């Protein structure tokens, strides 16, 4: 039966108490943070249950969910903004929430839908209120085009003068698994989305500098820290559990020996994790940037402090650089986050090997 990895997870569906979840407690023990008490909402319980379901049942449920949404909640109907391009139907992908690579991953899903339907996809995030993705210094621009180009050669101005336009419904287009077929599909789809020229040049130049002299067997080490720590009110149900940095480094050391890695590139958004990793692996390289500091206290959920000197645009730009460099390496190890999956997509199947550190999901 393709149902649950952990039968105990089923129990979470039937109870709603103040308690420390088993996964939460495990994470607390790994990181030596006190796990706060909090109440799971019914939505959280259902999301946690869905996160334990294996393929192919997960894909079937996702398809049913999207079908019901289109039937009863939000229909995708053509609208007309003018008379241009009467032989084409444009599919406008709008703000979907989440961070930059969460948004990117969802766009890949919508891009696949547009291709299947014979529609012309275009991404328009100008009306976004996404604090992570948008930048108040550029309020009139399309935040998508800070970093990426459009999959087709049409401007937004041209689209909004066209005869047949469909605005996307808010479907579940994220992919949180490591299914080979779906990863291959998203790898192909990612090639339809170019970086804007300035971003492409920046990524190529900076990655060449950081990887120079590391040899031909470089291992990318991917660690998520502060904003994946559990905290009251944080909607992280279904996200991967992240190992404490000490346990994480032990796992990494074993894989580096197995791979006989000639060099190490380390990426993390957490300053304390970087400092510990640098002590364990002093020859590792990393992007120099402002990082979050951990302010986690017993019973008080403060996952990170805001970056003081880095704009949203610059922070996203350097995050993309981290992921881009990981994709240029020959090996990769880390938890299965959006950044890890995106690096797999951009690598295009070129890794000699990669290893997912899987401690389950919340």
Apex CA 27: angle with CA 265 and CA 269, to 5°?
30
3 state SS of 148? strand
* HSE toward the beta carbon, residue 293, CA cutoff 13 A: 4
Please give the residue that has the higher pLDDT: either 305 or 83.
83
* Sequence ranges of the domains in the chain: 8-55+177-356, 57-167
Residue 18: pLDDT band by 50, 70, 90 thresholds? very low
**The pLDDT value given to residue 290:** 66
Residue 25: pLDDT band by 50, 70, 90 thresholds? very low
């990082």: which residue's tokens?
A: 291
Q: Where are the alpha helices (H) located in the chain, listed in sequence order? A: 8-14, 22-31, 42-51, 57-72, 100-117, 144-147, 156-159, 180-190, 197-211, 245-259, 271-280, 312-328, 338-347
Report how far residue 296's alpha carbon sits from residue 303's, in angstroms, rounded to the nearest whole number: 6
Tell whether the model's pLDDT for residue 304 goes beyond 50.
no
**Model pLDDT for residues 315-329, shown as the tens digit of each residue:** 889 999 999 999 999
Residue 283: name the closest of 360, 348, 213 by CA.
Answer: 213
CATH classification for the domain delimited by 8-55+177-356, as one of 3.40.50.300, 3.40.190.10, 3.40.50.11350, 3.40.50.800: 3.40.50.11350
Work out whether strand 218-222 and strand 263-267 pair parallel, antiparallel, or are unpaired.
parallel
Mean pLDDT over 16-35 rounds to 32
Tell me the two tokens of residue 362.
Answer: 């919340």
Q: Where are the alpha helices (H) located in 15-137, listed in sequence order? A: 22-31, 42-51, 57-72, 100-117
**The pLDDT value given to residue 171:** 64
From residue 31, how far is each of 4, 35, 39, 360 by CA, in Å?
A: 26, 10, 21, 16
Please give the residue that has the higher pLDDT: either 137 or 279.
279
**The pLDDT value given to residue 98:** 73
Residue 360: pLDDT band by 50, 70, 90 thresholds? low
**Model pLDDT for residues 200-232, shown as the tens digit of each residue:** 999 999 999 999 999 999 999 999 875 454 444
Tell me the two tokens of residue 75.
Answer: 């229909």
Residue 307: pLDDT band by 50, 70, 90 thresholds? low
């961070």: which residue's tokens?
A: 99
Tell me the two tokens of residue 191.
Answer: 């090639």
Report how far residue 244's alpha carbon sits from residue 258's, in angstroms, rounded to the nearest whole number: 22
Q: Where are the alpha helices (H) located in 118-228, listed in sequence order? A: 144-147, 156-159, 180-190, 197-211
Report how far residue 255's alpha carbon sits from residue 257's, in angstroms, rounded to the nearest whole number: 5
Mean pLDDT over 286-303 rounds to 56
CB neighbours of residue 331 within 10 Å: 23
Report how far residue 327's alpha carbon sits from residue 174's, in angstroms, rounded to the nearest whole number: 20
Please give the residue that has the higher pLDDT: either 83 or 77.
83
Mean pLDDT over 140-169 rounds to 92
**The pLDDT value given to residue 310:** 64
Report how far residue 36's alpha carbon sits from residue 32's, in angstroms, rounded to the nearest whole number: 12
For the chain, give the mean pLDDT. 75
């Amino acid at each position: 039966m393709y149902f649950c990895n952990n039968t105990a997870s089923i129990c979470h569906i039937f109870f709603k108490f103040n308690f420390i979840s088993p996964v939460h407690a495990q994470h607390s023990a790994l990181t030596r943070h006190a796990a706060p008490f909090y109440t799971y909402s019914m939505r959280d319980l259902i999301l946690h249950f869905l996160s334990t379901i294996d393929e192919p049942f997960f894909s079937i449920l996702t398809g049913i969910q999207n079908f019901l949404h289109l039937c009863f909640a939000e229909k995708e109907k053509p609208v007309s903004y003018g008379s241009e391009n009467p032989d084409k139907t444009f599919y406008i992908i709008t703000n979907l929430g989440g961070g930059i690579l969460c948004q990117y991953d969802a766009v890949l899903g919508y891009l696949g839908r547009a291709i299947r339907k014979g529609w012309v996809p275009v991404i328009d995030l100008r009306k976004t209120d996404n604090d992570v993705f948008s930048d108040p210094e550029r309020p009139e621009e399309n935040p998508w085009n800070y970093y990426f180009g459009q999959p087709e050669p049409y401007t937004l101005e041209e689209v909004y003068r066209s005869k047949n336009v469909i605005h996307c419904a808010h479907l579940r287009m994220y992919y949180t698994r490591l299914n080979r077929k779906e990863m291959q599909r998203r790898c192909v789809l990612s090639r339809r989305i170019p970086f804007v020229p300035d971003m492409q040049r920046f990524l190529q130049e900076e990655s060449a500098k950081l990887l120079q002299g590391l040899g031909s067997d470089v291992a990318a080490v991917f660690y998520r820290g502060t904003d994946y720590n559990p905290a009251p009110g944080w909607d992280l149900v279904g996200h991967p559990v992240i190992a404490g940095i000490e346990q994480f480094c032990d796992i990494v050391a074993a894989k580096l020996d197995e791979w006989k890695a000639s060099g190490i590139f380390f990426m993390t958004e957490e300053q304390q994790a970087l400092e510990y990793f640098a002590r364990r692996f002093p020859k590792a390289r990393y992007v120099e940037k402002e990082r979050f500091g951990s302010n986690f206290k017993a019973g008080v959920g403060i996952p990170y402090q805001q970056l003081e000197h880095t704009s949203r645009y610059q922070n996203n730009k350097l995050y993309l650089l981290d992921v881009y460099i990981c994709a240029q390496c020959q090996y990769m190890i880390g938890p299965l986050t959006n950044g890890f999956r995106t690096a797999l997509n951009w690598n295009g199947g070129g890794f000699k090997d990669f290893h997912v550190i899987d401690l389950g999901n919340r």
